[in-house]
């Protein structure tokens, strides 16, 4: 008999798709998935056929969205909200797979279906919500402000900052509902390179995230139901970079949680490229670098590597391997982290696979930052500890509650 520990450690697949499954299962605690639906879907799947993965998650998302629509039509609002949330998360997987396929038509169709499920959830959830237009460089960013049950004013508020490829529906399970249950107002938003701002408008990521977070903070602090002394920010995955970068310039936030820490985004790219190719890039031999990278993508296993590159590179808005590395290399906080004066908690799980060691490194760079170490023994390993979200939520919100109790910056 295979032990539970062996199954937990070895996972469902050998590659990145194992993380996709873990992330979906980890959302079940807040209704973001149904384990039986997830396990039944992957039962007949291999991990390397992108087309089959796309169709499987698209079909599951469409089926569950259909259930949600039927519940809504029959007046079963709670059932509708829960089904819409699951559907949105399943369809978000299809969006990511379509991005790896580099098929614009499939990406847009999958995103439209995902966003329709999210809007179905927003329309049927029990939590009061209002749409917010965040002024941004002559346009606006879309936001959703959710209110807790107790409508006392003013109150602590949490801005939830997404990562590089997450969905709003995922943020619901990772931070939003947990904050609402604890009496926080919650703002979710799409920033440059994220969700609707990228897929519908084509606006790519930017490294200087203070240009994004400051307008968000302005918008939140203009609300009468927000206590300006108890404003917090939560950033997940690559937002560990974006939020820490922004806090070096934006000093009105009372406390922040980085889940986890990111110092230098480029390392997660360059560590996967052979040394000989990186030497060409560093020497500025761009033509040779492009040629050899293209050749490498045609070797056995290269198709999966190219798909992963396409998926990760798409929201940076760049063309070519060298140009993408040029852009990604701007995403570092090494020179500005010491300017952060906000109390910060940084999660640091064992077996972090995307930004190994960077949580501890960031904690050493930000004055007074606290490191929240999470272990494999308590089921909290891998990037953003996908199967330990309840544990993560408890620890980070207990910390936030204590930091915000006085309404001042208190380390």
Same-domain status, 137 and 240:
yes
Report, as an integer, the average pLDDT of 160-187: 97
Residue 410 covered by a domain: no
SS3 per residue for 158-191: EEEECCCCCCHHHHHHHHHHHHHHCCCEEEEECC
Write out pLDDT tens, residues 238-261. 999 999 999 999 999 999 999 999
Read off the pLDDT of each residue in 168-181 and give the average, rounded to a whole number: 97
User: What are 197-229's pLDDT values in tens digits?
Assistant: 999 999 999 999 999 999 999 999 999 999 999
Three-state secondary structure call for residue 140: strand
48: confidence class by pLDDT, cuts 50, 70, 90: confident
Least confident of 77-81, 147-151, 306-310, 383-387: 147-151
Overall average pLDDT of the 341-348 stretch: 98
Asked which of 328, 349, 381 is the last residue of a domain, the reply is 328
Q: Report the chain's mean pLDDT, rounded to a whole number.
A: 94
Domain shared by 384 and 338, yes or no: yes
43 and 187 fall within a common domain: no
CA 190 to mean position of chain CA atoms: 11
Query: Any alpha helices (H) in 227-356, and if so which ranges?
Result: 239-247, 267-270, 275-282, 286-297, 302-313, 321-328
> Are 271 and 260 found together in one domain?
no
> Other CB atoms closer than 10 Å to residue 308's CB: what's the count?
14
Task: Give the tens place of pLDDT for each residue, 72-129.
Answer: 999 999 999 999 999 999 999 999 999 888 788 999 999 999 999 999 999 999 999 9
Answer yes or no: do 205 and 316 share one domain: no
Q: How far apart are CA 371 and CA 369, in angstroms?
A: 7
Q: Are residues 233 and 176 in the same domain?
A: yes
The C-alpha angle with vertex 169 and arms to 164 and 171, in degrees rounded to 5, equals 60
93 located within any domain: yes
State the first-to-last Cα distance of the chain, in angstroms, to the nearest integer: 49
Mark whether 239 and 175 lie in a shared domain: yes
Report pLDDT for 307. Answer: 86
Is 49 within the bounds of a domain? Answer: yes
User: Which CATH number does the domain housing residue 253 bear?
Assistant: 3.40.50.1820
Q: How many domains does the chain have?
A: 3
Q: What is the dihedral of CA 222, 228, 232, 238, to 10 degrees?
A: 40
Tokens of 341: 């004066």
- Write the CB contacts of 122 (distance below 8 Å, at least 6 apart in sequence): 129, 144
| Residue 397 contacts residue 179 (beta carbons within 8 Å) | yes
Q: Is residue 96 part of a domain?
A: yes
Residue 9 pLDDT: 60
Q: Does a structural domain hold residue 161?
A: yes
pTM: 0.95
Residue 311: how many CA atoms within 13 Å on its side-chain side? 19
The residue among 141, 231, 225, 204 whose CA lies nearest residue 331 is 204
| Residue 409, domain member (yes or no) | no
Tell whether 113 and 140 lie within a shared domain: no
Alpha-carbon distance of 256 to 167, in angstroms, equals 20
Choose the final residue of a domain: 307, 328, 349.
328
Taken in order 165, 138, 248, 309, the sign of the CA dihedral is positive
Q: Are residues 241 and 368 in the same domain?
A: yes
CATH number at residue 107: 1.20.1440
Overall average pLDDT of the 347-371 stretch: 98
155 in any annotated domain: yes
Q: Which two tokens stand for residue 87?
A: 């559907």
Q: Is residue 81 part of a domain?
A: yes
* Residues 150 and 109 both lie in one domain: no
* Structural domain range at position 51: 4-122
Q: How is residue 124 written in tokens?
A: 């049927």
70-73 contacts: CB < 8 A, separation 24 or more?
A: 72/120, 72/123, 72/124
Closest CA to 364 of 244, 243, 268: 244
Averaged pLDDT, 32-42: 97
> In Å, what is the CA distance from 58 to each residue of 41, 84, 213?
11, 14, 33
111 and 19 fall within a common domain: yes
Q: What is the dihedral of CA 397, 402, 406, 409, to 10 degrees?
A: -80
| pLDDT tens-digit series, residues 146-155 | 999 876 789 9
**Do 170 and 260 lie in a common domain?**
yes
């Amino acid at each position: 008999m295979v032990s539970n520990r062996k199954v937990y450690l070895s996972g469902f697949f050998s590659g990145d798709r194992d993380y996709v499954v873990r992330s979906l299962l980890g959302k079940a605690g807040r209704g973001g998935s149904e384990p039986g639906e997830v396990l039944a879907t992957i039962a007949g799947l291999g991990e390397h056929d992108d087309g089959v993965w796309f169709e499987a998650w698209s079909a599951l998302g469409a089926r569950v969205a259909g259930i949600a629509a039927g519940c809504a039509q029959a007046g079963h609002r709670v059932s509708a909200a829960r089904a819409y949330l699951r559907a949105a998360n399943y369809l978000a997987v299809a969006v990511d797979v379509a991005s790896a396929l580099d098929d614009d038509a499939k990406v847009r169709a999958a995103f439209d279906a995902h966003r329709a499920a999210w809007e179905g959830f927003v329309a049927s959830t029990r939590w009061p919500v209002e749409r917010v237009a965040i002024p941004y460089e002559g346009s606006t960013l879309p936001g959703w402000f959710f209110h807790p049950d107790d409508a006392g004013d003013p109150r602590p508020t949490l801005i939830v900052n997404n990562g590089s490829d997450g969905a709003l529906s995922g943020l619901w399970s990772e931070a939003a509902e947990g904050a609402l249950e604890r009496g926080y107002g919650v703002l979710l938003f799409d920033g440059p390179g994220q969700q609707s701002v990228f897929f519908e408008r084509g606006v790519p990521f930017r490294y200087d995230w203070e240009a994004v977070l400051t307008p968000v903070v302005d918008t939140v602090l203009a609300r009468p139901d927000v206590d300006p002394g108890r404003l917090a920010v939560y950033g997940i995955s690559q937002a560990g970079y974006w939020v820490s970068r922004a806090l070096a310039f934006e000093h009105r936030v009372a406390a922040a949680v980085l889940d986890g820490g990111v110092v230098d985004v480029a390392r997660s790219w360059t560590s996967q490229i052979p040394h000989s190719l990186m030497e060409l890039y560093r020497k500025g031999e761009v033509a040779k670098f492009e040629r050899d990278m293209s050749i490498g993508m045609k070797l056995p296993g290269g198709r999966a590597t190219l798909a992963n590159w396409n998926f990760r590179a798409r929201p940076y808005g760049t063309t070519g391997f060298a140009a993408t590395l040029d852009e990604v290399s701007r995403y570092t906080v090494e020179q500005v982290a010491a300017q952060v004066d906000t109390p910060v908690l940084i999660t640091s799980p064992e077996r972090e696979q995307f930004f190994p060691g960077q949580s501890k490194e960031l904690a050493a760079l930000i004055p007074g930052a606290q490191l929240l170490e999470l272990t494999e023994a308590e089921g909290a390993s891998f990037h953003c500890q996908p199967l330990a979200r309840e544990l993560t939520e408890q620890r980070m919100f207990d910390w936030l509650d204590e930091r915000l109790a006085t309404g001042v910056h208190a380390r």
